Amino acid sequence: EAGVAQSPRYKIIEKRQSVAFWCNPISGHATLYWYQQILGQGPKLLIQFQNNGVVDDSQLPKDRFSAERLKGVDSTLKIQPAKLEDSAVYLCASSPWRRSNTGELFFGEGSRLTVL
């Protein structure tokens, strides 16, 4: 079974530039998450999708971050304009939807962003 695919693996940009990350979840997984992991910290949730709808984006800095999941499969996360503090690994995770609890998350390899 193919895992969660993410691209690009690495990206270096200058501040105020824009960047986009792509994620393809495990086939059939209804729930998709974007997490931000700053070096030395645990993953922090940015946004959660259920199929193609946003369930929670309360921690997404909406003045510069946007995300979409068209057709309920692939997702893109965009940062525009980037700031130095956005340097982090952006992890995409997916899970099958379970009504009772969260269940296991399957993470992609992540996209490492460096903002100069």
Partner 1 sequence: GQQVMQIPQYQHVQEGEDFTTYCNSSTTLSNIQWYKQRPGGHPVFLIQLVKSGEVKKQKRLTFQFGEAKKNSSLHITATQTTDVGTYFCAGPNLSGSARQLTFGSGTQLTVLP
Applying CB under 8 A, the residues found at the interface with partner 1 are 31, 33, 35, 41-45, 48, 50, 55-56, 91, 98, 101-110
CA gap 40, 59 in Å, rounded: 19
The β-bridge partners of 31 are 50, 95
Closest distance to partner 1 from the beta carbon of 24 (Å): 15
| CA distance linking residue 69 with residue 52, whole number of Å | 5
Least distance between partner 1 and beta carbon 56 (Å) = 4
Closest CB 6 distance from partner 1, rounded Å: 9
| Residue closer to partner 1 (CB basis): 73 or 105 | 105
The nearest distance, CB 75 to partner 1, in angstroms, is 16
Nearer of residues 61 and 81 to partner 1, judged by Cβ:
61
With beta carbons less than 8 A apart as the criterion, state whether 59 and 34 touch.
Answer: no
Identify any residues that bridge with 49 across adjacent strands, giving them in sequence order. Answer: 32, 54
Amino acid symbol at 60: L
